[in-house]
Amino acid sequence: MNKKTWWQPPRRFKETQNERKISWLELFYDLVYVACIGQVTSHIAAHPDGAHVSYAILYFVFIFWAWINGTQYYELHGNDTIRTRWFVFLEMLTVGAVAISVPAAFRGNIVSFTVSFLAVQGVTIYLLASVSFYDRSHIGLSGPFLLCYGIAFLLLFISIFCQPFAALPLYLLAIVINLSAPVLGARNLNKILASRGQQFSASPSLVERFGQFTIIVLAESILSIISGFSTAHTASLLVWSFYCLSIGIAFLLWSIYFDMTNEQELKKGYGYYQLFVFTHLVLLGALGAFGACLRNLAEHFDTPAPVLLTRTIAISLALFLAAMCLIGRLIMADDDHQTRSYLRQVTRWNIVVIVVLIAVSAWSKSWSVSGLLLTLFLLLAIPVATGVVTWLTHENQPED
């Protein structure tokens, strides 16, 4: 084996593969994020108050930023070489260190979390800079990202020497700067692509990666349900009915997401893709909060569910459905009457369910666990059933 075989440079941006199969390495890479998300959601389940939830959202945004950068790098520049495998392994080590340090960060010891995430940020910066090193034409594309990521790295480094109350503003500023990089680089990217007679289009494999990450968060919800019900002091028929309803709700959420996105393409344009990314940030955060709340809800079989818990569940589901409505608008279905009709009908009913969920969150009465779970199940079943009926109706129509 020569050096060219096992240590090839990253793939050039203009060599992006629009049609490719998701690799086993990418699936393995996602597993470390299961640990990260699990640490965050389990803490929310144990401490569902406003302060802890706020910090959980902040840590989740950091984790999502790490995942999206690793995913996009592999999509645009990854190849089947030892170099790629080595850096995926290095990213997994650093993200795993972040997962280990999350519990201490919730207790106020943020140094280990900061150092771990600095390692993640450092690897990201190096990989992006290495692309420009091997491909000089990429400097114009990576410049805004390197600038933003470098400033955020410096802010996080300074936060190591600050007290937690003083480090928080630096954390917030760092994540805002990290997330703003694609916005700042959009104009230059579109200009360069236009000069090549091209327009940015998210490949099907890249869109599929978001579905895989959604599965990870849904898996945490399933784990939260099972963990919560495993602590039940009784195995009565009522408890098992609660369990079935909870799993049914998770299944309906899966149906809503994948029925709307499966094998669908996004509208062409870098702006549409970035909106898709940020919408998933809201969607996945809502799913994570919902899963954590279900675990906490399992402790109230014999007593009314706390009002705060009920409101959090209702709001998280409303946010999820609102995000799905927006994603439905981002799907390219101009030439497919069946898909357009399906998305239109499901989106309408999603909006109706959102209004009802907001009403549930505003209604301050204490809900019983059975009443709350049954209400949520029936509400989520409406858009799913509507979608199935719409799809079957079009399938059974005679062809012209």
Instruction: Say whether pLDDT at 393 is over 70.
Output: yes
* 40-62 pLDDT, tens digit each: 888 887 777 778 888 888 999 99
Q: CA 169, CA 279: separation in Å to the nearest integer?
A: 24
Instruction: Say whether pLDDT at 267 is over 50.
Output: yes
Exposure string for 185-209, b = 16+ CB within 10 A, e = fewer: bbeebbebbeeeeeebbbbbbbbbb
Q: CA 119, CA 153: separation in Å to the nearest integer?
A: 9
Residue-wise DSSP of 277-316: HHHHHHHHHHHHHHHHHHHHHTT-SSSPPPHHHHHHHHHH
Vertex 135: Cα angle to 88 and 2 (nearest 5): 60
Q: Please, are residues 290 and 221 in contact by the beta-carbon 8 Å criterion? A: yes
Task: Please state the rounded mean pLDDT for residues 196-210.
Answer: 81
Instruction: Say whether pLDDT at 125 is over 90.
Output: yes
Strand partners, 331: 266
Which of 78-92, 206-220, 261-275, 331-345 is the least confident region?
A: 331-345
Burial of 39 (0-12, 13-18, 19+ CB in 10 A): buried
Instruction: Say whether pLDDT at 81 is over 60.
Output: yes
Beta strands in the chain (DSSP E): none
Instruction: Say whether pLDDT at 78 is over 50.
Output: yes
Quote the tokens at residue 355: 């209004």
Which of 72-76, 284-288, 373-377 is the least confident region?
A: 72-76
Q: For residue 234, how many other CB atoms are within 10 A of its CB?
A: 9
State the distance between the two ends of the chain, measured CA to CA, in whole angstroms. Answer: 58
Q: For residue 49, how many other CB atoms are within 10 A of its CB?
A: 9
Q: CA 316, CA 285: separation in Å to the nearest integer?
A: 8
Q: CA 54, CA 48: separation in Å to the nearest integer?
A: 10
Residue 362 or residue 64, greater confidence: 64
- Give the percent of the chain with pLDDT over 90: 34
Task: Please state the rounded mean pLDDT for residues 254-278.
Answer: 88
Its pTM stands at 0.87
Number of H helices, E strands in the chain: 13, 0
Task: Please state the rounded mean pLDDT for residues 203-212.
Answer: 86
* 353, amino acid identity: V
Instruction: Say whether pLDDT at 128 is over 70.
Output: yes
Task: Please state the rounded mean pLDDT for residues 51-78.
Answer: 88
Quote the tokens at residue 344: 């239109």
Q: CA 217, CA 215: separation in Å to the nearest integer?
A: 5
Instruction: Say whether pLDDT at 340 is over 70.
Output: yes
Phi, psi of 327 (to 5 degrees): -60, -40
Among 11-15, 29-33, 290-294, top mean pLDDT goes to: 29-33
Instruction: Say whether pLDDT at 319 is over 50.
Output: yes
Question: Between 237-261 and 307-330, two packed helices, what is the crossing angle to 10 degrees?
Answer: 20
Quote the tokens at residue 189: 């990217």
Instruction: Say whether pLDDT at 364 is over 50.
Output: yes
Q: What is the pLDDT of residue 1?
A: 46
Q: CA 272, CA 257: separation in Å to the nearest integer?
A: 18
Q: What is the pLDDT of residue 335?
A: 60
What average pLDDT does the chain have?
A: 85
The three-class DSSP label of residue 266 is strand
pLDDT band at 252 (very low <50, low <70, confident <90, very high): very high
Q: How far is CA 151 from CA 120, 170, 292, 324, in A?
A: 14, 11, 33, 33
* 370-380 pLDDT, tens digit each: 888 899 999 99
Instruction: Say whether pLDDT at 163 is over 70.
Output: yes
Q: How far is CA 264 from the centre of its chain?
A: 18
Q: What is the pLDDT of residue 143?
A: 85
Q: What is the pLDDT of residue 135?
A: 76
pLDDT band at 201 (very low <50, low <70, confident <90, very high): confident
Nearest to 263 by CA among 316, 309, 207: 207
Instruction: Say whether pLDDT at 6 is over 70.
Output: no
Q: How far is CA 323 from the centre of its chain?
A: 11
